[in-house]
């Protein structure tokens, strides 16, 4: 008689190879129709499962865990895990994992796309071309600002922040950063980056890129007071998590010229966003696609699956975010 496979729930559509891998090790309840679970339906579906493979759109909290007495592991298909109540998981003996590393370069590329697109007003001028407003070349037409030789300020100098900084070397930029702790001197040299306080960074930078996780400590890290410390010519890039920026304050700053522009991939209350963003020409908007390349999303899904299988087979997953659960 073959050994019983653990039952796992996959909450969103994933790649065929990810499901094939999971099915070799688990009994899989999949959702390839990609219809998001309502909280009540998720609780019912998870009731008899030992594993959960979820997305950042799925809220895993104490209430959900109370409906899943057999649950042993939660595998998030994301590097951030603010959708998961990690202390609640630890209290119930549930391992929680994420997918760091595999998305660093793709996310850094997207931050640069927002930076370049905002600096050169790409989405604005494309809209104008499509509307038939381009009637010929003019010397002072739709002027942008230079990225090369500008000062780049990075708030959050983890793996993705460092990848963003390394790309700045090719643009001959001055790079400054703020972090909870200074990074090692050898990493500063590799990134050609100098440490500053947050206020100093905001006041000196031509481009401010946010790359911090969303936590209670980083909620509205950038609000009206911080935006006023930036140069009027500066551009803000948020490619990390919604809630790090006070979106209402940012709309006001973009409207009254406190800063020049913004490039955004994330928002408070997404997929809803502040409706006034849609009225502004000086903001580039993307729909949370920082890691959205085929190769990267496949790697994220497979890493999440491997984390889940490791946990269910009694091994410590390499990307365990609550190691105290193993004590």
> What are the catalytic residues?
241, 270, 288
User: Do the beta carbons of residue 316 and residue 310 sit within 8 Å?
Assistant: yes
| For residue 271, cis peptide bond before it (omega within 30 degrees of 0) | yes
User: Do the beta carbons of residue 49 and residue 312 sit within 8 Å?
Assistant: no
Say which residues have a Cβ less than 8 Å from residue 31's Cβ, sequence separation at least 6.
Answer: 10, 11, 12, 13, 37
User: Do the beta carbons of residue 24 and residue 308 sit within 8 Å?
Assistant: no
Instruction: Give 167-174's long-range contacts (Cβ < 8 A, gap of 24+).
Output: 167/108, 167/109, 167/112, 168/192, 171/147, 172/148, 173/147, 173/148, 173/149, 174/149, 174/150
DSSP secondary structure of 37-78: PPHHHHHHHHTT-SEEEE-TTS-B-HHHHHT-TT--EEEESS
């Amino acid at each position: 008689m073959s050994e019983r496979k653990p039952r796992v729930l996959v909450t969103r559509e994933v790649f065929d190879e990810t499901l094939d891998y999971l099915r070799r090790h688990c009994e899989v309840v999949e959702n390839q129709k990609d219809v998001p679970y309502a909280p009540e339906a998720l609780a019912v579906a998870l009731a008899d499962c030992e594993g959960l493979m979820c997305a950042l759109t799925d809220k895993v909290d104490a209430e959900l865990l109370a409906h899943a007495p057999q649950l042993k592991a939660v595998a998030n298909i994301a590097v951030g895990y603010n959708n998961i109540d990690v202390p609640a998981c630890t209290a119930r003996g549930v391992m929680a994992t994420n997918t760091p590393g595999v998305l660093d370069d793709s996310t850094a590329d997207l931050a640069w796309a927002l930076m370049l697109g905002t600096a050169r007003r790409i989405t604005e001028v494309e809209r104008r071309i499509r509307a038939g407003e381009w009637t010929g070349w003019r010397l002072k037409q739709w002027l942008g600002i230079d990225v090369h030789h500008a000062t780049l300020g990075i708030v959050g100098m983890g793996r993705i922040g460092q990848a963003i900084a390394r790309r700045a070397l090719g643009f001959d930029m001055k790079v400054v950063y703020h972090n909870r702790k200074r990074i090692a001197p050898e990493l500063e040299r590799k990134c050609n980056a100098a440490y500053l306080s947050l206020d100093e960074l905001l006041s000196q930078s031509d481009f401010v890129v946010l790359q911090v996780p969303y936590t209670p400590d980083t909620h509205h890290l950038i609000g009206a007071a911080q935006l006023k410390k930036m140069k009027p010519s500066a551009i803000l890039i948020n490619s990390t998590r919604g809630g790090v920026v006070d979106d209402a304050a940012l709309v006001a700053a973009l409207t009254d010229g406190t800063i020049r522009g913004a490039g955004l991939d994330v928002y408070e209350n997404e997929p809803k966003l502040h409706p006034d963003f849609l009225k502004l020409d000086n903001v580039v908007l993307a729909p949370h696609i920082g890691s959205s390349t085929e190769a990267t999303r496949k790697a994220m899904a497979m890493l999440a699956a491997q984390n889940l299988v490791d946990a269910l087979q009694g091994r410590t997953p390499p990307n365990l975010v609550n190691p105290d659960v193993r004590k």
